[in-house]
A and B are shown apart, each in its own frame.
Chain A
Amino acid sequence: MGRLEITVNGIVRDATGTPPQTNLLTWLRSIGLTAAKEGCAEGECGACAVLIVRPDGARSRLDSVNSCLVTLGSLHGAEVVTVEGLGTPDRLHPTQAVLAAAGGSQCGYCTPGFVSSLAGEYYRADRTPGQHGCGNGVHLEALAGNLCRCTGYRPIKDAALAIESPPADDPWVERLAQPSSWPSPVSVSDAAGAVVRPASLAEAFDALDADGAAPLAGGTDLNVERNILGRTKATLVAVEALPELRCLEFTDDHIEIGAGLTLSEIERRLAGRVPLLDALWPQFASPLIRNAATLGGNLGTASPIGDSPPTLLALEASVVLIGRRGEREVPLADYFTGYRQTLREPGELIKSVRVPLPLAPLTAFHKIAKRRMDDISSVAVGYAVELSDGVVSRVRIGLGGVAATPIRALATEDALLGCAWTPETAAAAASVMKTEGTPISDARASAAYRSAMLEQSLLKFFASTREEVAR
């Protein structure tokens, strides 16, 4: 079995012998780095946030992630930065100094997590004054995955708005100017389970042949299951860094998005070319999650309340699966076969997602949830519509949260196709949409509200497109 070495705050630490499926947070705390805290163990509160150094072309980037959702064994060769590594009481990091001075901490338990998220934003290479409506270019949404129960957030917001640009001689600026790499191939195991990071696709297929092996592509869902429900896998095969899974290509008739890219990377690299996905990103969990989660992971877990499927269904996307016998392309609409079940066969990996071009001009993503930031949807709807001379000539509607799988609103699409885009058409189609799926009542919403939201969503979409057309 291999060694497991992780650089933390500039020091190479030997983690060999620690159960490899342990999360990063547990290990950090066990070696005395207790700044990162456990608040929820499911990536909702951000108290455990730490920074990971990752490649960004020829440079590097600091991504803030929930350490409770990172599998320790997948980090061989990785470089982690905790709040202890940013600054000390005698030499506060600028982000620490502004938070402390602003009254940004009360009980202090969530504070290291906020420091981590804020430091990620402090070093964001493309942060420029005026961006996101802020003088210092800070994107406040960077703090959306951190919960504070004490302050009400105003002083934290003020602190974020007070950070300046890092000076040129800042040690992290110098570090980030240098390249870095994805974690190295490794194979580590103990009685509780193994983690394999294959060096190639072929090695990945070999590893996936083992009994109880499962692909790991971000871990923001698998680690919740492990932390909360105690569910483990015999072997986790970390695939997100495989080059085949990290493509992003634009061709004449489609866009191909690698399944191993983090959602943050996709957002950055698509650079606004798919407006429907741009509507999705800010509502997809939190930046702490989007810095770790991958599109392949979101489709691989096949949750009926995953956020990406409604938009990808509306975009008529397909999934490219790859196995020993080669590749196959499956329409996403056919891919989900049952509750958390898909057409993906054991041994196969999701390689990429293809979005056909041209894109429909009218799109929207509606997520109905209790909270605007970082919540799980009660109902999610993705729209892609084309009008020709005021008549619906093409329509795709994807739904989440109303059935055992994400589904297309086929009856509603039928009711719209070929009709004039009028209030009467929208009202008639909305009453059809209300009957789509088989919503249930649960902790998030009642079945009646879910059905009502389907109806209202279409009415809202219609109203918004009329405003757009008017403009």
Chain B
Amino acid sequence: MTSLWERPDGPVVGQAKPHESAVGHVTGTAYFTDDLVGRLTGVLHAYPVRSPQTHALVTRLDTEPALGVPGVVRVLTAADVPGVNDAGIHHDEPLFPSEVMFRGHAVAWVLAESLEAAKAGAAAVVVEYDPLPSIVSIADAEAAGSFQGTTSVVRRGDVDAAFASASHVFSGELEIGGQEHFYLETHAALAMVDGSGQVFVQSSTQHPSETQEITAHVLGLGSHAVTVECLRMGGGFGGKEWQPHGLAAIAALGAVLTGRPVRLRLERSLDITMTGKRHPFLARWKLGFDDELHLVAMSGEFIADGGWCLDLSAPVLARALTHCDNAYNIPNVEVVGRIAKTNKTSQTAFRGFGGPQGMLFIEDALGRCAPQLGVSPEDLRRRNLYRDGDSTPYGQPVKDAGRLATIWDRAFTTSEFERRRAEVDAFNAASPHVKRGLAITPQKFGISFNTAAFNQAGALVQIYKDGSVLINHGGTEMGQGLHTKMIQVAATALGVPYELVKLAPTRTDKVPNTSATAASTGADLNGAAVKNACDQLRERLANVAAGWLSHDTVEQWNLPLQPDDVRFADGLVYPVGHPEMGKPWAEVVNAAYWSRVHLSAAGFYRTQGLHWDAKNMWGSPFKYFSMGAAVSEVEVDGFTGAHRLLRVDIVQDIGNSLSPLIDLGQIEGGFAQGVGWLTMEELRWDTSDGEGRGRLLTNSASTYKLPSLGELPEVFNIEVVPNLSERGAIYGSKAVGEPPLTLAMSTFEAIRDAAAAFGPAGRDPKLGLPSTPEAVFWALTEAREASAPPST
């Protein structure tokens, strides 16, 4: 066995490869779940009967009229469920509810020959409701005491004593908005009973094993009777970690009951109003500083809006609580977190998983405190960064803490921060209507699932007699390039060309009991499992090759070749140091077959050294930390509040990259998604007492705006920290999926800086989230009014 992190000579990892499906993407030959419908005959279409009430008891459900609609074949209700009527693992999520919990909640599903017929059928189903009072905001929930799950606290030291002796104490509150995933491919499932009687579900899911588990329990079957396959997803971003399960179960139930394939694809308007989003948070903070402006205490409170059921809210909250320190050392901490239960979609995982909300808590606070302390935000942030030897408020030593300052200083220098700060100030002094802002923010993001058990993965690697290699692993492809990296890992571990390795779609009958592809761990976990399988195979082949090559080595040096001196690279198998004596890979494989050597291996990996006491929020849940820093410069129009992102400089530590082009895409794309969350994407629910109470107002692409090409920074510089190898991860790489999203906080802080420039120095430059033109306009109006002479 070789070490996890060291790379052999001539590795395929580290090469810049385009996405393994890129050619399929551009030609439309890379199929998504719903593209398969036309390949089947007799497919039924599923459409939901949805609640027009925000919270109500279902008093009558009459499906008979729907059956009279031409094309309608069947209506699925709770009475049809042979197993457990629940879409989750907490059993608080009835698949067919008798109490509707949010507007748009599905009470029944209509199956029909066409989508139009299914829609007409759904409209014909008669449902009567007895309305109940509804809770549609965190404020409502707080007033009513409507919470779910448990209260969690991160606590270290003595905050009361620390605040009492602090030189400066500030407090504030911020409302952090949610975020719609807006994966371009909406939720989709296609289920059938196959020729062997197996229930087979094609699902756009980040967690096939859990989709399988839920489908099986709804059907009252063992998991072995259900197979889930995920070809690829048109984006996931966390939105397909939990939410696909119930939809897949509906399609499977329909397929079992009718004997026909069932297609369930949510149209955008359904997807956006029925499935969960990033959790909105209400956060209250209090910070204490000493005379040197070092943080001495932080206390506060998070209330996460979990929506109508728990799904992933508890771990999301845990990640928020373990990230509210971001990159700063704070000796005394007490932050309490709770989960509101509201009559909204069940909020769920979204890239960062509570981490971004936690980090924003401290960044917003520092951005507001700095002017009041008479220092620049960059000075205040820099002087509080973690140093070697520091540990987090939950007791984990900060591995490589000193790297934070190194990365910060690198970003500060290469972005020419000081020169540009002077230029921005000069520009602002001369420009009454347009102001610029500049800011730098750091990032520290813990890598591993908080729940230690999820940090395991499996893989199945098969070598065929002709030398070609087929790999399966438990991770799913949602655009992040995981499959590309896995091919590179297998090619590296086996010493074969990239082209010799093919990857088969993720299936629960190939690799069982997998974890979600989430928490940025896809490559770390599955890569290590793939490597483990390849290492086993290579060891077997080395034994065969050692015997074979020994003919030559004995002849040349009179020395038999030991198996651990056999090398595999570039499709050759040779004695160490002597590639000229090599045998072609395919010949060695063929020889192994004839020697009756097993050419298939199951790989497994568990992350070592993790421990976490979830009850007391204490331990070392993370294998390592991802680190970075970003500098943003913006220009704000004082007439409208609209901003332009002029320049962004990012320095990100991604260890020794497995696949540089893929990782660059993750950094850029994550950053853009963060900018969307913080500056543009706005979820507005109707909180009035009128007819529309509880309705999501921004329920379509025309009202919910995500970044377009026009939001690309005009100058965009990205640097990865060179020559760093993470010993805790596959081939020295580091996770990259989620962390870059949090770099967008530099853009938010730069907008704050620009809006504040419309007024006098030293104010509390409060800025609403997201910083839409409207929010920025109100912030700069407040700044302007602070500098206006008092009216007489």
Q: Which of B692-747 contact A (CB under 8 A)?
A: 697-698, 700-703, 705-712, 716
Indicate which residue in B21, B24, B116, B479 contacts A150 across the interface (CB closer than 8 Å).
B479
> CA of A146 to CA of B28 in the docked complex: distance in angstroms?
16
Tell me the complex Cα distance, A152–B712, Å. 7
Tell me if A151 and B709 are in contact (CB < 8 A). no
Q: Is the CB of A152 within 8 A of B672?
A: yes
Tell me if A108 and B232 are in contact (CB < 8 A): yes
B-contacting residues, A67-110, CB 8 Å? 82-84, 87-89, 92, 95-97, 99-110
Chain A contacts with B in 405-462, Cβ cutoff 8 A = 442-446, 449, 452-453, 456-457, 459-460
**CB-nearest residue of chain B relative to A39?**
B184
- A42 close to chain B: CB less than 8 A: yes
| Residue from B22, B661, B671, B708 whose CB has the most chain A CB atoms within 10 Å | B708
Which A residues from 358 to 391 make CB contacts under 8 A with B?
368-376, 378
Instruction: Assess A371 versus B680: contact at CB under 8 Å? Given A34-B31, A155-B665, A449-B777.
Output: yes
Check if B18 sits within 8 Å of A40, measured CB to CB. Answer: no
**B27 near A88: Cβ-Cβ < 8 Å:** yes
User: CB distance A374 to B708 under 8 Å?
Assistant: yes
Find the A residue at minimum CB distance from B478.
A107
| A366 → chain B closest CB, angstroms | 8
Contact status B710-A108, CB under 8 Å: no
Given A83-B26, A107-B184, A108-B232: A149 touches B481 (CB 8 Å cut-off): no
Compute how far the CA of A446 lies from the CA of B705 in the bound complex, rounded to whole angstroms: 16
Q: Is A143 an interface residue (CB 8 A)?
A: yes
Q: Is B680 in contact with A150, judged by CB distance below 8 angstroms?
A: no
* Residue interface mask B248-263, A partner, CB < 8 A = 1: 0000000000000000
**Distance in angstroms between the alpha carbons of A460 and B773 in the assembled complex:** 15
**A39 and B268 contact, Cβ closer than 8 Å, known pairs A32-B38, A89-B23, A456-B640:** yes
A156 at the interface (CB under 8 A from B): yes
A42-B702, A228-B269, A444-B703 as given contacts; A108 in contact with B772, CB under 8 Å: no
In whole angstroms, how far apart are the Cα atoms of A32 and B29 in the complex? 11
The reply to whether B701 and A153 form a contact with Cβ atoms under 8 Å apart is no
CB distance from B351 to the nearest CB of A (A): 11
Pick the contact of A103 from B18, B181, B642, B777 — CB < 8 Å? B18
Instruction: Report how many A-B pairs have Cβ atoms within 8 Å.
Output: 238
Which residue of the partner chain B has the closest CB to A32?
B38
A147 at the interface (CB under 8 A from B): yes
B185 at the interface (CB under 8 A from A): yes
Q: Are A106 and B665 in contact (CB under 8 A)?
A: yes
Complexed CA–CA distance, A100 and B22 (Å): 5
Q: Check B481 against A106 for contact (C-beta < 8 Å).
A: yes
Give bound CA distance, A104 to B119, whole Å: 36
A105–B22 contact, CB under 8 A?
yes
Judge whether A35 and B27 touch: CB under 8 Å: yes
CB < 8 Å: which of B185, B670, B706 contacts A37? B185
Contact A103 B232 (CB under 8 A): no
Q: How far is the CA of A143 from the CA of B709 in the complex (A)?
A: 7
Please report the C-alpha to C-alpha distance between residue A148 and residue B185 in the assembled complex, in whole angstroms: 11
**Range, interface on chain B:** 35 or more
* Any A CB within 8 A of the CB of B89: no
A-chain residues with CB within 8 Å of residue B700 when the two chains form the complex: 40, 42, 44, 228
State whether A376 touches B702 (Cβ < 8 A): yes
Q: Is A324 interfacial (CB-CB < 8 Å)?
A: no
CB-defined contacts of B268 to chain A, threshold 8 Å: 38-42
Chain B hits for A208, CB < 8 A: none
Chain A residues with CB under 8 A of B234:
37, 107-110
The reply to whether B708 and A144 form a contact with Cβ atoms under 8 Å apart is: yes
Contact A84–B235 (Cβ < 8 Å):
no
Q: Would you call the interface of chain B mostly helix, strand, loop, or mixed?
A: loop
* Per-position 1/0 for B176-205, Cβ under 8 A of A: 000001111110000000000000000000
By beta carbon, the residue of chain A nearest B432 is A463
Choose among B639, B671, B698 the residue that contacts A456 (Cβ–Cβ < 8 A).
Answer: B639
- Asked if A251 lies at the interface with its beta carbon under 8 angstroms from chain B, I say no
CA distance A151 to B23 in the complex (A): 16
Kindly state the separation between the CA atoms of A63 and B697 in the bound complex, as whole angstroms.
33
B233 at the interface (CB under 8 A from A): yes
Report Cα–Cα, A415/B613, bound state, in Å: 70
Residues of A within 8 A of B185 (CB): 37, 39, 107, 109
Q: A42-B700, A370-B773 are in contact. Are A89 and B29 (CB under 8 A)?
A: yes
- Contact between B26 and A103, CB atoms less than 8 A apart: no
Residue of B181, B433, B478, B668 ringed by the most chain A CB atoms within 10 A: B668
Query: Which residues from 169 to 198 on chain A have a C-beta closer than 8 Å to any C-beta of chain B?
Result: 192
User: A106 touching B702 by the CB < 8 A rule?
Assistant: no
Evaluate whether A108 and B709 lie within 8 angstroms (CB atoms) in the complex, with A44-B701, A370-B680 already known. Answer: no
A89 to chain B, nearest CB (A): 5
Instruction: Decide yes or no: A144 and B710 within 8 Å by CB, A45-B701, A150-B235 being known contacts.
Output: yes
Q: State in angstroms the CA–CA spacing of A143 and B38 once bound together.
A: 29
Asked if A132 lies at the interface with its beta carbon under 8 angstroms from chain B, I say no
Q: Is the CB of B28 within 8 A of A107?
A: no
Residue of B30, B182, B772 near A149 (CB, 8 A) is B182
The B-contacting residues of A in range 90-136, CB under 8 angstroms, are 92, 95-97, 99-112, 115
Task: List CB contacts (< 8 Å) of A221-255 with chain B.
Answer: 224, 228, 230
Q: Are B27 and A87 in contact (CB under 8 A)?
A: yes
Kindly provide the distance from the CB of A341 to the nearest chain B CB, expressed in whole angstroms. 22
Task: Indicate if the CB atoms of A108 and B702 lie closer than 8 Å.
Answer: no
Q: With contacts A37-B184, A109-B32, A110-B184 known, is A101 near B18, CB below 8 A?
A: yes
Cα(A351)–Cα(B235), bound, Å: 45
Give every chain B residue within 8 A of A293 (Cβ-Cβ).
Answer: none
The CA of A327 and the CA of B31, in the complex, are separated in Å by: 53
A59 at the interface (CB under 8 A from B): no
Q: Is A152 within 8 A of B642, CB to CB? A: no
Whether B664 sits at the interface, judged by CB under 8 Å, is yes
A157 at the interface (CB under 8 A from B): yes
A115 contacts B26, C-beta separation under 8 Å? yes
B753 CB within 8 Å of chain A: no
> Interface 1/0s, chain B 1-29, versus A by CB < 8 A?
00000000000000000110111111111
Give complex CA distance A368, B642 in Å: 8
Closest to A98 in B: B26
Q: Contact between B26 and A107 (Cβ–Cβ < 8 Å)?
A: no
Complex interface: chain B residues within 8 A of A353 (CB): none
Is A404 interfacial (CB-CB < 8 Å)? no
Task: For A449, list chain B residues within 8 Å (CB).
Answer: 774, 777-778
Output the least CB separation between A220 and chain B (Å): 12
- Could you tell me the distance in whole angstroms from the C-beta of B392 to the nearest C-beta in chain A? 30
A44 to B237 alpha-carbon distance, docked (Å)? 20
On chain B, the residues within 8 Å of A370 by CB distance are 680, 682, 705, 772-773
Q: Which one of A107, A371, A378 contacts B479 once the chains associate, using CB atoms below 8 Å? A: A107
**What are 10 A-B pairs at a CB distance below 8 A?**
A34-B28, A35-B28, A103-B18, A147-B184, A149-B673, A153-B712, A228-B700, A371-B711, A456-B777, A463-B639
* 20 extra interface residue pairs, beta carbon distance < 8 Å, beyond A105-B22, A106-B479, A106-B480: A32-B38, A88-B27, A89-B23, A89-B29, A96-B23, A99-B22, A103-B19, A103-B661, A107-B184, A107-B235, A109-B184, A144-B708, A148-B184, A152-B712, A154-B712, A370-B772, A445-B774, A457-B639, A460-B640, A463-B639
Which B residues contact A (CB, under 8 angstroms)? 18-19, 21-32, 35, 38, 116, 119, 181-186, 232-235, 237, 267-269, 433, 478-481, 637, 639-640, 642, 661-662, 664-665, 668-673, 680, 682, 684, 697-698, 700-703, 705-712, 716, 772-774, 777-778, 781
